[in-house]
Structure 1
Amino acid sequence: MAQAKITVIGSLNIDMVTETDVMPQQGETLIGNAFSSFTGGKGANQAVACARLGAAVTMIGCVGEDAMAQQLRDALGAENIDMTYVKTVPYKATGIAAITVTEGDNRIIVIPGANHCLLPEDVLALKEVIAASDMVMLQHEIPLETVEASIKLAHSLGIPVILNPAPAVRLPEQLLAQLHLITPNESELAIVTGLERKNTPESLLEQYPNPIVMTAGSSGAYYKGANGELGHIPGYKVEVVDTTGAGDTFNGALAVKLSEGASLQEAAQFAVAASALSVTKLGAQSGMPLRHAVEAFIKQSN
């Protein structure tokens, strides 16, 4: 099997994670349990997930002119991710995410910094890089106009695009039609498409006209294929430590398997297993599993 070549266009952040038993109220000060700093950003996270699962990954994005930028370059370089097209923006800070973890769940505030300096012309100048890819991955932590330009460029070149539309914003129908796949959760799907939320996930997917995989946390994922077929992949019962990066692990796993020629059902099954493993460890990238671990987990669970 040929190694999948995936290009990730997106954000690079430093995640600053605070663990606490109780979430403070407005104006309240509490003593927390622990603080950690990790490399993150939805783009960088998905790049790491893809690399650990066996893909050759190229990252396109921006970092600031600071020590955090070098931390990101070192971390992603250690995963054999091609960082040639990550631009350093003078006088800008690298993006950060302030994450508070309570009872295994998280609340996140993102400060984009240099990520918002990735412009459409930066991507359009890399047409040959996009054309050499098996898959392009995008998210919404870079300017929306850059996301749109990237989708249109890849579509014109016949390269499939997976869009993880978070943070969610409404997108034009004609742009959604150019995607190979969109991967929102239920609330993001309603925002992105303007569709009415029905009683079941399946009824929401039935309203969406294109292929989709909708993540559902501990309930796994729901999907709709190109022929309109609906399916559900149940979640796994695991001990949850930190859900940060679970969605990015899911997206990376999905992209790798689809790039290798797997069916949407097979790819979604693999992605649900990979994301389940990721929540058993602290940190987004540090919790992302290797390929053999996911395959062993699936075999053990069957």
Structure 2
Amino acid sequence: MARVLVLGNAGLDISLAVPRLPERGETLLGDGVSQAPGGKGLNQAVTAARTGILTRFHAPVGRDAQAEEIRSALSVEASLEFDPAPLDHPSDFSLLMVMPDGENSIVSGGPCATSFSASAATDFAVTAEAGDVIVLQGNLTQEATLAALKAASDRGVTTLLNPAPLWWEVGPLLPFSTIVVANRGEAEAITGVADPANAAAALRQQGVSIAIITLGAEGCLVRQGTTIAHYRAMPVDVKDTTGCGDTFCGVLAAALTIGRTIDNAIDLAQRAAAITATRAGAYAALPSRQELAAIFSGNERH
């Protein structure tokens, strides 16, 4: 049976509601503090597993209480196999500052993610089999991420790269990425092209088979071959956009694993991301197993 394999980071998310971003040297009061498991890899793996698709998640964590909290939280997720890689570093974390309009800014600390080796990444990627989809993000080092993509590509496996956060050059990874999902700003940073449609074309020229540029409330643009399509997003009352991209990637991977077309997979991913946008937080805002089942069956409530 085909699976979703996710290689990425796992940590704790600390969310804080703020009226605006602080100025340089300013101390700004916030409220609504919350803490939950997080990390792009973790969120994408949980979302994929909640679709009912068998999902294996491999992530470096510390040997500390935070790692135990992560393990405990993920143990209740049906269809998810969490395979942690313990390292002698503090577990990763992120600080999410959420503005009143729902937009967010994130600062992350990733000592475990940045210490994860390329050889360990390869060891995980070579477990991929025909029909699997392997998902990676930008939290691990370029060397580890590239090693995993190369190993998976050599096995003929579909690779999905969501390169956020951008802290190293993405270009060398593109020829090994079947699908790239990037937002408007990330696509411009990677390609040097501001227009999303042209940025998608530039990603294709660098070896990506399917380039997806997410545009928030405007939906997304998809370049496949010489064809570009605009998929409109479902209108919702946005509370917090944190985790929307992770929901999108997790559902997209799961849908492709069970043979859905790219058109249908994107539609399902956007519907799931719309649910996340209506809730505060990241992990807490991910769609439930029941909500995803309704989306996949076409019976969700609008």
Using structure 1 for the length normalisation, give the TM-score.
Answer: 0.90
Number of residue pairs aligned between Structure 1 and Structure 2: 293
Q: Do the aligned partners of residues 26 and 293 (structure 1) sit closer, same or farther apart at CA in structure 2, a change above 3 Å counting?
A: same
1:202 is aligned with what amino acid? A
Match of 1:102 in 2: 99
Kindly provide the amino acid, as one letter, of the partner of residue 256 in structure 1.
Answer: A
Pair 1:270–1:89, CA change in 2 (3 A): same
TM-score under structure 2 length normalisation: 0.90
Match of 1:184, SS state, is strand
Q: Secondary structure at the match of 2:135?
A: strand
User: What RMSD, in angstroms, separates the aligned Cα atoms of the two structures?
Assistant: 2.1
The answer for the alignment partner of 1:220 in structure 2 is 219
How far, CA to CA, are the matches of 1:125 and 1:152 in structure 2? 12
Deviations 1:42-79 (A, max 9, x none): 11110011011221111111101211101111112211
Deviation of 1:294 after TM superposition, in Å, equals 4.2
Residue 189 of structure 1: which of 183, 187, 190 is its match? 187
Structure 2 alignment gaps of length 5 or more: none
- Give the structure 2 partner of residue 112 of structure 1: 110
Identity %: 28
Q: 2:197 matched to which residue of 1?
A: 202
Whole-angstrom distance in 2 between the partners of 1:223 and 1:30: 39
Letter in 2 for 1:64: G
Structure-1 residue corresponding to 2:247: 249
1:9 and 2:7 matched? yes
Cα 1:47/1:13, change in 2 over 3 Å? same
* 1:224 to 1:299, Cα distance in 2 relative to 1, 3 A: farther
User: Does the CA-based 8 Å contact 2:18-2:98 persist in structure 1?
Assistant: yes
CA contact (8 A) 1:277 1:294 kept: no
Alignment partners' CA distance in 2, 1:51 and 1:133: 16
Match of 2:269 in 1: 271
Alignment of 1:35-114 (within 5 A): 35-80=33-78, 81-84=80-83, 86-90=84-88, 92-103=89-100, 104-114=102-112
- Distance (whole Å) between structure 2 residues aligned to residue 138 and residue 30 of structure 1: 34
Task: Name the aligned partner's letter for residue 250 of structure 2.
Answer: G
Runs of 4+ in 1 over 6 A off after TM superposition: none
1:281 paired with 2:276, answer no
Please state if 1:172 is matched with 2:171.
yes
1:230: which partner in 2? 228
Distance 1:186 1:49, change over 3 A: same
Amino acid in the other structure paired with 1:286: A
List alignment gaps of at least 5 residues for structure 1.
none
